[in-house]
Amino acid sequence: MRTTAVFLITLISIVLLFWQGAPQTTPGTFRAEQMKYSRVKAAYTEKWNGIDLRLKELDVQVTALEVFIRSFKHEKVTEVWVKNKTDKTWKKYRDYKVCMSSGELGPKRCQGDGQVPEGFYHMNIFNPYSNFHLSLGVSYPNASDRVLACKRDPGRAIMIHGDCVTIGCIPLTDDKIKEVYVLSVEARNAGQQKIPIHIFPTRMSEERLREIKATTEDASVKLFWDNLKTGYDYFETKTALPVVTVDAKGKYIFR
């Protein structure tokens, strides 16, 4: 009996040593503000150990974490990439299945069109009490959209969120959004003010670009996709992000 008790105590000690539940939180930080919300706190409790382990596998420090999100509409996949603040290149953290989609290939141009945007955005909202469990805002309409979208109302409130319903958003299920949300909170907590979000119609190889161009007669959409491919290729060849600006005609410029 004594041997069994010693074994159990040792086992519990080991579990407690490795089970963190959530990182230590300093009052007044972004993490601390987010942890005031029950869904965020529960997400940390459920997901933190796995996140911490994966970041250590990738040699990425929580205190220097940066996050990049890339989503592909046709494949229904959202990628999360991470790096240390001082690293020049990104490392794949994980792929997440997009569980529902709306609209078709092509950019969002007007309120009510049901389209998921395509283009180069950043995260602009953390919503810890979303109707869709947890939500992360996409900065649509951006400078390009404001030139090219309909002037009446280009739409708004595009989110990466939980649940599995959508009209123009990117739903990952409640389970998966917990991990992406916590990672994004950690990146902001570590000082990353703008988390990039790139949304593409498909993985833009030359072959796939030809295939999707064959699905539309709209020359403006084809030119738009050519423009997106330049930014896609930059990351594919360098595993680094370009600096993205927009000219007066709404075209993306990469450097």
pLDDT tens-place string over residues 133-191 = 999 999 999 999 999 999 999 999 999 999 999 999 999 999 999 999 999 999 999 99
226 domain-assigned: no
Pair 126, 38: CB distance under 8 Å: no
Type of residue at 228: L
161 domain-assigned: yes
**What is the distance in angstroms between the CA of the first residue and the CA of the last residue of the chain?**
69
Alpha-carbon gap, residue 42 to 21, rounded angstroms: 9
**Segment 71-123, tens digit of pLDDT:** 999 999 999 999 999 999 999 999 999 999 999 999 999 999 999 999 999 99
> For residue 3, what pLDDT is reported?
59
Average confidence (pLDDT) over 23-38: 95
pLDDT at 1 over 70: no
| Percent of the chain clearing pLDDT 90 (strictly above) | 90
Residue with the two structure tokens 């450097």 = 255
- The residue range of the domain holding 78 is 20-201
pTM of the model as a whole: 0.92
pLDDT at 4 over 70: no
Count up the domains in the chain and report the number: 1
The catalytic position among 99, 110, 122, 169 is 169
Q: Per-residue confidence at 217, pLDDT binned at 50, 70, 90?
A: very high
Alpha-carbon gap, residue 78 to 251, rounded angstroms: 24
81 domain-assigned: yes
Alpha-carbon gap, residue 92 to 253, rounded angstroms: 25
209 domain-assigned: no
The catalytic position among 99, 122, 150, 161 is 161
Query: Catalytic residue at 99?
Result: no
164 domain-assigned: yes
Pair 214, 132: CB distance under 8 Å: no
249 domain-assigned: no
pLDDT at 206 over 60: yes
221 domain-assigned: no
Residues 6+ apart with CB under 8 A from 210: none
- Identify the CATH number of the domain in which residue 111 sits: 2.40.440.10
> For residue 23, what pLDDT is reported?
86
Sign of the Cα torsion 182, 93, 61, 16 reads positive
> For residue 20, what pLDDT is reported?
56
31 domain-assigned: yes
Find the range with the poorest average confidence among 17-31, 65-79, 177-191, 193-207.
17-31
Query: Catalytic residue at 164?
Result: no
